[in-house]
């Protein structure tokens, strides 16, 4: 919360601030939280003034109420659903990946998280002609593979090039760089000056774990703070600028050898939809080598959790498997 | 949305003092002088200087303007279109096994971390030695013409073996050269090249994980001075991390993650290929007993962009491409001879004797007399 001197006004002059500071009131939160009567006694400022200041501050910093039907209108007019490039997966996700929320792909190594991201990026760039930003923390981005996916969907060379020009990659190496970059994006979108940003639709963060993991564990507690900060920013970009945000998360081995999503409990609240990817079960007779993967819903507000479908990674990107071979 | 102080790499105690004084966003600190901040936040003059410098990247003393605050990142974004053009031009570090190279997309790629896992004696170190020689193949012969850093944690680096592989490689390339020079002159030149190859390998020996961490951290200074380095090998990453962490696996995960991140940063900045070897461990499975998997746990599996598993199939060595974001999974055999890594079945006359890249690189190596018994089998 801002320090008190930011609220300097006709009611709150410098000498009153000094009085307040003497009794340990430094910022606006501390002022508002304190009982006005106590404050009046301690700081020797008149009760009337204190109530006045309080009201001004509260009005200045409060959120505004919104009407439900207005909200519905905006929702209807701004809702966009993007295909993952695989019909079966789309129907599992109730249509595809939604804008305005954070979607998470989680899975063990080589389970197809990045492949799904590539496929999604290709469809967004190709079908909606909007920009895609791929934040690469792991060195997984491959233009060669993207080209393969894009060109399996379109045959016109010019269109392929156009689609590839819409997909941007930025290597990210640490959390501070990432936070700054995201802040920068949201600033530029609100400024509407930059062509790239006004056309931006999809942000893919692949993967979130490498940048956060070095700060988690050990004695320092700042890891959690950074995680909260990152989640706030991702959610802000999604809800405020109506972007589609996709985050990949890794898996860790928990107690008793159970494989679970990394980053713990808190992170599970960040995504609105969590899609779990995994290798096919051994007894099904399908192998990883042939590209088979299993996708299931771990968390969703639209679909029952636990539903799953079989997919296959191929030169087309991600394909649905209709019948078991 | 305002920038919060917490999103900057400040020392925890400085951040705590700032927050306590009511400064939580960048907006709060805008326009404040260093002296004022000293008094407000109860920090020393030097500390405030650092804070303001970090936050505004501006001359110490006064806060920056709006423009500097939002430095433009768009120049760091590369479109897939541009990247695909660049990726095609990049030569990868070949392994000398054509099948392996084909499977992994031409060889070991730069700007990626490649992990090679395998049981003891399968040839992890041999591949590393071969790669540290092959990275030096000049560009005119289809290589990358770089140098190598070899970080040895196990003490398995054997310089005689390196000499075998290096001289076989030199012979291999020299055999194609038709020059009217005497045998002596030829031998002299070969020796010179051999010496250059050995000089192009920078060797570190790390006795414990602290040394390894330290080396990783000072590597960027070394790379500044040696701009030709294209390959960093750690053989093996697992050795120091497999014991001594029993009661503190959280620390191990944290350290491994930060090593991974440092390597990724170096790889991107200096255009390096990073190759890490890893051991195998037995994972107990409820249904069918033990299962051989790469060590260092689930979390480590995510760090590498490419994961290669080496395994025995009867008496043949096999490479399995387990993880890659741009190549299909696959499995091919390879063999290790005294000259280094080769295809298991000699390549069946790869499209006549054209002077294309593959025919130079993969033509059967002419074998010098065997100096030492063949390794393995």
Q: Which residue has the higher pLDDT, A249 or B244?
A: A249
- State how far Cα A166 lies from the chain centre: 20
Number of Cα atoms under 13 Å in the Cβ half of residue B15: 17
Q: What is the pLDDT of residue A272?
A: 92
**Nearest chain B alpha carbon to A185:** B73
Cβ of A166 within 8 Å of Cβ of B79? The answer is yes
**In this complex, is the C-beta atom of A61 within 8 Å of any C-beta atom belonging to chain B?**
no
CB B114 within 8 Å of CB B108: yes
Residue B296 has pLDDT above 80, yes or no: yes
Number of CB pairs < 8 Å for A and B?
189
Single out the residue of B320, B286, B301, B327 nearest to residue A282, CA to CA.
B286
Q: What is the pLDDT of residue A169?
A: 92
Q: Which CATH architecture has domain A70-320?
A: 3-Layer(aba) Sandwich (3.40)
**Residue B153 CB contacts under 8 Å (≥ 6 apart), including other chains:** B206, B212, B234, B235, B236, B237, B239, B240
- pLDDT tens digits, residue range B23-70? 877 777 777 788 888 887 778 888 888 888 887 764 333 344 444 445
Q: What is the pLDDT of residue A224?
A: 85
**In this complex, is the C-beta atom of B308 within 8 Å of any C-beta atom belonging to chain A?**
no
Instruction: Say what percent of chain A tops pLDDT 70.
Output: 94
**In this complex, is the C-beta atom of B328 within 8 Å of any C-beta atom belonging to chain A?**
yes
Instruction: Say what percent of chain B tops pLDDT 90.
Output: 29
The residue of A26, A113, A214 whose CB has the most chain B CBs within 10 angstroms, and thus the best one to mutate to test that interface, is A214
Q: What is the pLDDT of residue B34?
A: 81
ipTM exceeds 0.90? no
pLDDT band at B223 (very low <50, low <70, confident <90, very high): very high
Is it true that the peptide bond before B236 is cis, omega within 30 degrees of 0?
yes
Q: What is the pLDDT of residue B349?
A: 40
**In angstroms, rounded to a whole number, what is the distance separating the alpha carbons of residues A48 and A50?**
5
**In this complex, is the C-beta atom of B253 within 8 Å of any C-beta atom belonging to chain A?**
yes
**In this complex, is the C-beta atom of A281 within 8 Å of any C-beta atom belonging to chain B?**
no
Other residues' Cβ atoms within 10 Å of the Cβ of residue B113? 24
Determine phi and psi for A308, rounding to 5 degrees: -145, 165
Query: Which whole number is the average pLDDT over B183-205?
Result: 88
- pLDDT tens digits, residue range B101-155? 989 888 899 889 999 999 998 999 999 999 999 999 888 887 888 999 999 999 8
| Share of chain A residues as helix, strand and coil, in percent rounded to the nearest 5 | 45, 20, 35
Residue B276 has pLDDT above 90, yes or no: yes
Q: What is the pLDDT of residue A97?
A: 93
pLDDT band at B308 (very low <50, low <70, confident <90, very high): very high
Residue pLDDT tens, chain A, 325 long? 566 666 666 667 777 777 777 777 777 777 888 888 888 888 888 888 888 888 888 887 788 888 999 888 888 888 899 999 889 999 999 999 998 899 999 999 889 999 999 999 999 998 888 999 999 998 889 888 999 999 988 888 888 999 999 999 999 988 888 998 998 888 888 887 778 888 899 999 988 988 888 888 766 667 888 898 899 999 999 988 889 999 999 988 877 778 888 888 889 999 999 999 998 877 677 777 888 899 999 999 888 888 889 999 988 888 888 765 5
**In angstroms, rounded to a whole number, what is the distance separating the alpha carbons of residues B322 and A108?**
12
Measure A278 CA to nearest chain B CA, in Å. 13
Using a CB-CB distance cutoff of 8 angstroms, which residues of chain A are in contact with residue B81? Answer: 143, 161, 164-165, 167
Measure A190 CA to nearest chain B CA, in Å. 10
Determine phi and psi for B131, rounding to 5 degrees: -65, -40
Which of A171-175, B18-22, B307-311 shows the lowest per-residue confidence on average (mean pLDDT)? B18-22
For the question of whether the overall pTM of this predicted structure is more than 0.95, the answer is no
Where are the CATH 3.40.50.300 domain residues in chain A? 70-320
Determine phi and psi for A152, rounding to 5 degrees: -80, -15
Residue B363 has pLDDT above 60, yes or no: no
Closest CB to B8 among A167, A176, A216: A176
Collapsing DSSP states into helix, strand and coil, what is residue B349?
A: coil
Q: What is the pLDDT of residue A271?
A: 92
**In angstroms, rounded to a whole number, what is the distance separating the alpha carbons of residues A283 and A286?**
8
Q: What is the pLDDT of residue B31?
A: 75
Cβ of B330 within 8 Å of Cβ of A289? The answer is yes
**In this complex, is the C-beta atom of A24 within 8 Å of any C-beta atom belonging to chain B?**
no
Using a CB-CB distance cutoff of 8 angstroms, which residues of chain B are in contact with residue A176? Answer: 7-9
Q: What is the pLDDT of residue A231?
A: 93
**Residue B62 CB contacts under 8 Å (≥ 6 apart), including other chains:** B31, B33, B34, B52
Q: What is the pLDDT of residue A53?
A: 82
Which of B2-16, B121-135, B354-368 shows the lowest per-residue confidence on average (mean pLDDT)? B354-368
**In angstroms, rounded to a whole number, what is the distance separating the alpha carbons of residues B353 and B345?**
18
């Amino acid at each position: 919360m801002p320090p008190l001197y930011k609220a300097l006004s006709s009611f709150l002059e410098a000498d009153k601030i000094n009085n307040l500071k003497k009794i340990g009131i430094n910022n606006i939160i501390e002022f508002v939280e304190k009982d006005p009567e106590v404050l009046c006694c301690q700081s020797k400022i008149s009760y009337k003034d204190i109530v006045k200041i309080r009201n001004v501050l509260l009005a200045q910093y409060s959120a505004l109420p919104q009407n439900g039907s207005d909200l519905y209108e905006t929702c209807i007019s701004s809702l966009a659903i993007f295909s993952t490039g695989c019909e079966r997966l789309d129907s599992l996700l109730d249509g595809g990946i939604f804008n305005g929320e954070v979607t998470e792909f989680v899975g063990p190594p080589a389970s197809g998280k990045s492949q799904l991201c590539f496929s999604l990026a290709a469809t967004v760039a190709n079908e909606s002609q909007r920009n895609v930003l791929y934040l690469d923390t792991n060195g997984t981005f491959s233009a060669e593979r993207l080209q393969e996916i894009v060109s399996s969907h379109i045959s016109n060379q010019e269109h392929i090039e156009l689609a590839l020009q819409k997909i941007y990659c930025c290597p990210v190496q640490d959390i501070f760089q990432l936070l700054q970059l995201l802040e920068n994006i949201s600033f530029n979108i609100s400024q509407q000056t930059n062509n790239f940003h006004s056309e931006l639709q999809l942000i893919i963060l692949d993967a979130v774990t490498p940048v956060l993991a070095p700060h988690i564990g050990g004695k320092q507690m700042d890891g959690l703070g950074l995680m909260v900060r990152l989640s706030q920013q991702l959610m802000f970009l999604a809800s405020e600028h109506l972007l589609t945000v996709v985050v990949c998360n890794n898996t860790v081995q928990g107690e008793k050898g159970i494989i679970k999503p990394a980053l713990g409990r808190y992170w599970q609240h960040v995504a609105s939809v969590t899609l779990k990817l995994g290798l096919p079960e051994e007894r099904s007779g399908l192998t990883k080598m042939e590209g088979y993967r299993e996708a299931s819903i771990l968390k969703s507000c639209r679909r029952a959790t636990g539903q799953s479908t079989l997919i296959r990674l191929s030169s087309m990107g991600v394909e649905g498997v209709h019948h078991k071979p | 949305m305002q920038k919060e102080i917490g999103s900057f790499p400040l020392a925890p105690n400085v951040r705590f003092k700032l927050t306590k004084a009511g400064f939580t966003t960048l907006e709060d600190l805008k326009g404040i002088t260093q002296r004022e901040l000293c008094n407000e936040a109860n920090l020393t003059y030097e500390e405030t200087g650092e804070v303001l410098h970090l936050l505004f990247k501006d001359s110490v003393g006064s806060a920056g303007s709006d423009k500097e605050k939002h430095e433009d990142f768009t120049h760091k974004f590369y479109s897939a279109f541009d990247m695909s053009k660049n990726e095609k031009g990049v030569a990868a570090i070949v392994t000398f096994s054509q099948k392996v190279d084909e499977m992994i997309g031409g060889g070991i790629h730069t700007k990626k971390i490649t992990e090679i896992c395998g049981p003891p004696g399968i040839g992890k170190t041999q591949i590393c030695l071969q790669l540290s020689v092959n990275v030096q193949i000049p560009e005119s012969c289809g290589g990358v013409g770089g140098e190598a850093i070899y970080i040895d944690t196990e003490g398995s680096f054997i310089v005689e073996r390196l000499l075998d592989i290096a001289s076989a490689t030199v012979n291999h390339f020299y055999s194609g050269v038709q020059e009217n020079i005497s045998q002596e002159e030829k031998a002299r030149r070969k020796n010179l090249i051999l010496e250059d190859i050995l000089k192009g390998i920078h060797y570190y020996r790390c006795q414990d994980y602290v040394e390894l961490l330290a080396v990783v951290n000072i590597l960027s200074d070394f790379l500044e001075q040696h701009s030709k380095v294209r390959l960093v090998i750690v053989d093996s990453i697992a050795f120091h991390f497999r014991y001594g962490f029993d009661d503190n696996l959280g620390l191990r995960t944290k350290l491994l993650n930060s090593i991974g991140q440092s390597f990724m940063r170096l790889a991107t900045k200096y255009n390096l290929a990073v190759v890490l070897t890893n051991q195998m461990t037995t994972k107990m499975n409820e249904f069918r007993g033990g299962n051989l998997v790469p060590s260092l746990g689930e979390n480590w599996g995510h760090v590498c962009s490419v994961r290669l598993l080496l395994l025995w199939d009867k008496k043949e060595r096999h490479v399995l491409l387990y993880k890659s974001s741009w190549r299909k999974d696959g499995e091919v055999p390879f063999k290790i001879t005294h000259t280094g890594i080769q295809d298991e079945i000699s390549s069946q006359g790869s499209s006549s004797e054209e002077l294309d890249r593959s025919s130079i690189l993969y033509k059967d190596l002419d074998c010098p007399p065997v100096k030492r018994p063949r390794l393995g089998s």
